[in-house]
Each structure stands twice: as C-alpha cells, then as structure tokens.
Amino acid sequence: MKRIIDHYLLQWVHDPYRKPLLLRGARQVGKTYAVRQLGKSFDSFVEINLERSEKVRLIFSQDLDPHRIIRDLSFVTEQSIIPGKTLLFIDEIQARPEAVTALDLLETAGIAHKVLSRGGRSKVLFIDIGLAQASLNLNLADWFLQPQEAFVNKGTLVEAFVGQETLVYADAHRKQQLYYWQREAKSSNAEIDYLIQKAQRIIPIEVKSGAGTGLKSMCIFLETHGATPYGIRFATLPHSVHEKLYSYPLYAVAQVCAGGNTQVQDALASLLGR
C-alpha cells in the first residue's frame, strides 16, 4: 500500500539535519503501519508503547538525560539502539508527560477539526468522513447506487470531505488550520465554507452538495474583498469559469488544493511511480 505520507517520511530519513519526528493524526488511520514500513529503511527498528509497558514508563520518570534513556531502553527491549542506524519508535507517547518533555514534541490529534473565523467564532466538522458516516449510521450503498441523491442529502459530509482534502494537500510539515468567513448583517447574512491562501491571496471556497446554483455569499465576499482575484465552487458540476467564479467537480479537490505546492506534487508523482 502506497501513501503520500511515505514520501514525506523518506524525505525526513535523508535529511542530514533531521530532528525527532512527531507523527500526528486521528486514530486508526495507519500511522503505526507507516512508521513500521519506514523502519525497513534503517539497519534496525525498535518499537515501544508507553501505554502497554510499565518498565518503559519508569524510564521516563527519572531524569531526562538522553544517554541514560537510550541505555535503559536498550536494556528493556534487549535491542541495541545506535544513533543514525536505529529507528526508535515511541508509540502512545502522550501516556507519559515526561517523555513528551524529553523529546520536546507532542500535540494530541483528534477526529474532529475546529474551523476558525474572525472574532473567535468557530464551527466543528468531522474531518474523517468515514468515521462520520459510521457514527451517523449512514447507508454507504447510496453513494454507489444513487450518487446524485446521496450528495444532495449529505451536504455536511461533502463539506467535511473538501475540508479533509484541503488539509491533506497542504504543507505536511506544519499543522494546518481551516478557516471560514461569516458576516452577520441585517437582511444580508453570508457565510463562506473555507478560506485558503494562494500566492499571498485569500481565496474563498464554497461547497455545494448538489449543482450549487445559489451563490449569494460568494458574490458578497467577492464584492467586499477587492484584492481577492476569484472564488472557487466545488459541486456536482463540470469545470467552468464565469467571470470571477471558478467551478470544479468534487473529484477535482485534490488537483485544485495541491496546485502550486511542489512538495505535494512530488509526493503524488512518487506515489504514482513517475
């Protein structure tokens, strides 16, 4: 199984100035599998789990001297840990706060993502649409048997899908944040699903689960933000350009979001064997 993350992990391996790597993300998405595959590129691979081993947890409860920690981990695992040749994988590191301090790296990830707006307002979306469908007990057969109707009736999932893809194809070396725009005015409320940055410009994105002919919010945003060159609409429509509105089918989200990001394009090319 090939994934984009493998390309980024190999880049880290070949970086002569690499530092400890924090791999974050939702549970059960394949992080451990990816690291184990990466371990095959090292002379040796040592995996420890801070939730399962009390002996390992005790190692981090003492001082934070890295030489002692490596020595004691070697004793407990009965494996040599050689700097530069051994990949040391510490799983479930959040189970021991001292281990987090020792590595100076950690950020807990979840399955939901907060989308921010100005003034501290936010909305919460399921970013893993597979988990969202399972938690809502939705019928997956509809997507295959009646795709047009399924899109129309599942607007929230479609919006979450676009948000998920926007995060996936952003800079993998930084934690990404989603933003949206909302205006509350008498008889003129408006909301844009997402805002992204391209070439120092803020680009609004509207997500429509159907054909998406109603674009009042997009028009208001473009009228009130003269520096924005265009807006993007994702819907169940073919690609088209009308004045400052660029329309794309939902399956083109990856192409649009990855456009101009050479790191993502290189990762996709590596994934496809080009």
Nearest residue to 190 (alpha-carbon basis) of 153, 231, 160: 231
Has residue 201 got a pLDDT over 50? yes
Coil, helix or strand at residue 204: strand
User: So what's the pLDDT on residue 96?
Assistant: 67
Q: Is the pLDDT of residue 114 over 70?
A: no
Whether the Cβ atoms of residue 226 and residue 218 lie closer than 8 Å to each other: no
pLDDT at residue 117 tops 70? no
pLDDT value of position 224: 92
Q: Compute the mean pLDDT over every residue in the chain, rounded to the nearest whole number.
A: 80
User: Lowest-pLDDT range, 95-99, 116-120, 243-247?
Assistant: 116-120
Q: Which of 17-31, 75-89, 164-178, 204-218 has the highest mean pLDDT?
A: 75-89
State the virtual CA torsion across 14, 16, 19, 24 in degrees, nearest 10: -20
Q: How many percent of the chain have pLDDT more than 70?
A: 83
